[in-house]
Amino acid sequence: MVGNKILVQDKRINEYVNQLGNLILSHSRKAPFEFKFSVIRSSAINAFATPGGYIYVNSGLFTLLENEGELAGVMAHEIGHVNGRHIADMISKAQKLSIGTVAATLAGIFLGGELAAAAGSFSAATATSLSLKYSREHEEEADKLGLSYLVASGYNGTTMLDFLKKMKRYEYYSGIVPPYFLTHPGTEERIIYLDALIQTRYHENGKTDILGPFNRIQTLILINEANPETNIKRFQGILMNDPNNVDALYGLALNQGKLGLIREPMENFQKALLLAPEDSDILRDAGIFCYKIAKIEDAILCLEKAHQLDNDNTDTVIFLGKAYMEKGAYNKALQLYQPLEKTKISDPEIYYNLAAAYGKTNNPGESHYYFGMYFKKINKFESALYHFKKALEYFPADNQKIKEINKQISSLKGKSS
């Protein structure tokens, strides 16, 4: 539905939003399709749904969320739109326009900001005639359905109301109308309607957090998607009121590191690890930071512990292997990298590291093969072909590796750097 380049690819974030979405779905009526929940890389404050059960939350929305319940409320509302067939209804009323125009207009209106331009150009007259925004009736039904799903899932219904009030305050103080209000109209009426429902039907207390790690997920999204200077101010503001907030210390350290600082991020990583010595996220990123500033021994200490706590994290494996290589522990590096050979490798750097480790452990055939894979991955086809051909020299004719190398050589035919 939406291109991978604009979707957040972090496995942990995606698992979290899908787990949250599925929790809500388990307390809603069954749809004839599978829902999919994703986070879009966009500073525009918005969330939206498309036909077929695709629910998108912009990373910018996370700057305003305070707890898991508020995010659950947004997602429950969007599920309500899908179950109510609201977008399908809007599109059916616009049948006179082409599917391409509908798709471009949907993307332009819903994504907003910097992503609107990427959706394709269309005239203001076309967008106006299409008028793809929810009606007041759509919003009321989505609120009614969403609130029932939210409360049935165990959350406090006031979290949905709190989010709308927060959005209204944001608009007032910033002077900016968020895209969410453009596509979800009638905010004042929605606040009154939700308040009445909560007071009369859903007044029992629920939870603001059920899955648990919302603050960490929020931090991970912000450090990857938002401006470092903006993030630093945000995390410093949190620490003014809560000096021992581990997530704020972690986020502050990472963003200070992005700006090229050394002493400040080191101090904040240390503070965070004193409070949470078994936190694999902080250990991993502290280790990566130490590696980048050439504190190799410290990097190994942090990364080894992070790997013990979470041996599936690719970044931990890559940088721990690099640190071992720096120390001359080539066999240790190779032992780390070898299990990755059985997986579908997407990061070119892993191929490069495997090649270097095999080279340092006197295995030139494997070294040339993985250099070939590295150069192929980065589209340097002549260099890839050279290394694959060199690799052939080091394996017996009946070795299974010969078939794989020849397969790679065949795949390069007709390609050039």
Instruction: Supply 357's token pair.
Output: 């480790």
- Structural contact between residues 301 and 333, judged by C-beta atoms closer than 8 angstroms: no
Q: And the tokens for 94?
A: 């616009």
Indicate left, alpha or beta for 98 from its phi (over 0: left) and psi (-120 to 50: alpha): beta
The pLDDT confidence band at residue 41, using thresholds 50, 70 and 90, is: confident
Q: Is the pLDDT of residue 33 over 90?
A: no
Nearest in space to 286 (alpha carbons), one of 260, 309, 268: 268
pLDDT tens per residue across span 57-83: 999 899 899 999 999 999 999 999 888
Sequence spans of domains, the chain: 4-200, 341-417
Q: What is the pLDDT at residue 122? A: 34
Strand partners, 58: 40
User: Per CATH, which fold does 341-417 belong to?
Assistant: 1.25.40
Nearest to 108 by CA among 46, 164, 59: 46
Q: What is the pLDDT of residue 130?
A: 39
Please give the structure tokens belonging to residue 331. 């066999």
**Residues in contact with 24: Cβ distance below 8 Å, sequence separation at least 6, in sequence order:** 72, 75, 76, 79, 149, 150, 153
As a whole number, the mean pLDDT across the chain is 85
Q: How far is CA 215 from the centre of its chain?
A: 14
Residue recorded with tokens 């990097």: 299
Task: Specify whether the CB–CB gap between 8 and 40 falls below 8 A.
Answer: yes
Residues 224, 8: contact at Cβ < 8 Å? yes
- Say what percent of the chain tops pLDDT 70: 86
The pLDDT value given to residue 128: 35
Q: Are 337 and 350 in contact (CB under 8 A)?
A: yes
Least confident of 222-226, 230-234, 294-298, 319-323: 222-226
Q: What is the pTM of this model?
A: 0.78
